[in-house]
Amino acid sequence: MPTLSKMTCVEDFRRLAERRVPRMFYDYADSGSWTESTYRSNETDFHKLKFRQRVACDIEKRSLHSKMIGIDVSMPVALAPTGLTGMQHADGEILAAKAAEKFGIPFTLSTMSVCSIEDIAAHTSRPFWFQLYVMRDRDFMERLIDRAKAARCSALVLTLDLQVLGQRHKDIKNGLSTPPKPTLINLINLATKPRWCLNMLGTKRRSFGNIVGHAKGVSDLSSLSSWTAEQFDPSLCWEDIEWIKNRWGGKLILKGVMDAEDARLAVDSGADALIVSNHGGRQLDGAPSSISALPAIAQAAGNDIEVWMDGGIRSGQDVLKAVALGAKGTMIGRAFLYALGAMGEEGVTRCLQLMANELDVTMAFCGRTDIADVDRSILLNGNIFD
C-alpha cells in the first residue's frame, strides 16, 4: 500500500492515480488533442534547458516567497483551473483548495468544476480565484461573475483559447460524461476502482456545480462537449474583455496567450497578468510548448503586465526554469490532479511540499538564495528558445 512518505515525485502520483481513478477521468486529465504532440512537448521541452551549477556560494538562507498580482505566495505557483476536478476525487475542488490555502498559494476554480463557487467559499477562509469562459448566454456570465464577487474571489481568470473545442480523441472514445454513464465498459472499469466509488458515494457533488440549476433551462448536464458546443462563444474578441473587466471590477488575468502580438493586446486590455498557456496541449495540437513560447512573450510584454506560464510543469525544477525565462508566476494543473486522484487532499499537500523542496534545492545548487533574484543566467543554454 503506497504511503505519503514514499511518494517522492509527481510521477509517483501519476502512476497511482492511473490505478485509482476511472479511465475516462484519468484520460481527461492526462491527454491532449489530436496527435498529442503539443501535450508531449510541453513537458519534454523543459528537459532541453540545463542549469549552471555553482559552488562555494553562501546559500544558507533561502527564500521562495513571492507575489502574484500583489498577493503574497509561499512560492511562485498557483493551482490552475481544471475542469472536472471533482471527478478525480470526490469533492476534489474543495480538497485542492484547502491544500492550497494551507500551503499559502492561490487556488483557481474552473467554470467547469464539479464543486460550485459557493462550495469552495464555504470550505475555505482565504479568497480564491475564479476562472471564466466567454459564453453566448451573457446573462449567465453576469451571474457567474456576481457569484464570484459574492464569494470574495480576489481575481478573475479569463480563458481565451477555448472558443471552440480541440478534438480530444480519448474523451470521444471514452464517452466522457459526469457522472459516468452506466455502460458495460464503464461498470467494469468502476468495479476496479472501489476507493473512488466509495468516496463518490459519500458526496452529492457529481455534476457541474456552477452550471446545473444556475443556467437557464439546465437542470441536468452530463456532457462537457455538448455544453461547450452550445455555449462557448466563438465570436469572442478583445472588446469583450473590456466589458468583462468593467463588470468584474477587480484583478483580471488572461489565460491562453501564445503569441507576442497577443501579449501586447493583453497589455492594452488593462489586464493585471497574462498566462502563457496552450491549454495543456488540449486545444491546438502542433502549437509550440508553453515554455518555448515564454521568452518572446515575456520580452514583448516587458514590465507592463505580469507574465506567468503553465503547461508541462512536473517539478520545482520546471518552476525555476520558467522563472529564469521571465515568468513571474506559474500554474500547475496535471501535477496536482495526479496527486489528488491518488491520495486526495493529503496527496496535493505532499505534491506541493515536493515541488517546493525541488525548487529550493535546485535554486541553491545554482548559487541563488532568493527566487526574486533568479534570471536567465542560471541556465547553461538560456537562449535556446530565442
SS (H, E, C) the chain: CCCHHHCCCHHHHHHHHHHHCCHHHHHHHCCCCCCCHHHHHHHHHHHCCCECCCCCCCCCCCECCEEECCEEECCCEEECCCCCHHHHCCCHHHHHHHHHHHHCCCEEECCCCCCCHHHHHHHCCCCCEEEECCECCHHHHHHHHHHHHHCCCCEEEEECCCCCCCCCHHHHHHCCCCCCCCCHHHHHHHHCCHHHHHHHHCCCCCCCCCCCCCCCCCCCCCCHHHHHHHHECCCCCHHHHHHHHHHHCCEEEEEEECCHHHHHHHHHHCCCEEEECCHHHCCCCCCCCHHHHHHHHHHHHCCCCEEEEECCCCCHHHHHHHHHCCCCEEEECHHHHHHHHHHHHHHHHHHHHHHHHHHHHHHHHCCCCEHHHCCHHHECCCCCCC
Per-residue pLDDT reduced to its tens digit, 7-59? 999 999 999 999 999 999 999 999 999 999 999 999 999 999 999 999 999 99
- Mean residue pLDDT of the chain comes to 95
pLDDT, greater one: 206 or 215: 206
Per-residue pLDDT reduced to its tens digit, 250-305? 999 999 999 999 999 999 999 999 999 999 999 999 999 999 999 999 999 999 99
Please determine, for residue 218, whether its predicted confidence score (pLDDT) is greater than 90.
no
Please determine, for residue 228, whether its predicted confidence score (pLDDT) is greater than 90.
no
Please determine, for residue 225, whether its predicted confidence score (pLDDT) is greater than 70.
no
User: 4-378 in CATH: which number?
Assistant: 3.20.20.70
Q: What pLDDT is attached to residue 366?
A: 98
Q: What pLDDT is attached to residue 385?
A: 83
Please determine, for residue 212, whether its predicted confidence score (pLDDT) is greater than 90.
no
Three cell numbers, residue 45: 521541452
Q: What percent of the chain has pLDDT over 70?
A: 96
Banded model confidence at residue 141, pLDDT cuts 50, 70, 90: very high
The answer to whether residue 279 is catalytic is yes
Q: What pLDDT is attached to residue 220?
A: 63
Banded model confidence at residue 217, pLDDT cuts 50, 70, 90: low
Rounded CA separation 230/173 (Å): 20
- Averaged pLDDT, 355-370: 98
Banded model confidence at residue 222, pLDDT cuts 50, 70, 90: low
Q: Which residue has the cell 533574484?
A: 373
Amino acid of residue 96: A
Q: What pLDDT is attached to residue 248?
A: 98
Which one is catalytic: 47, 89, 214, 279? 279
Banded model confidence at residue 224, pLDDT cuts 50, 70, 90: low
Q: What pLDDT is attached to residue 179?
A: 82
Per-residue pLDDT reduced to its tens digit, 71-82? 999 999 999 999
Q: What pLDDT is attached to residue 231?
A: 85
Per-residue pLDDT reduced to its tens digit, 2-11? 899 999 999 9
Per-residue pLDDT reduced to its tens digit, 79-122? 999 999 999 999 999 999 999 999 999 999 999 999 999 999 99
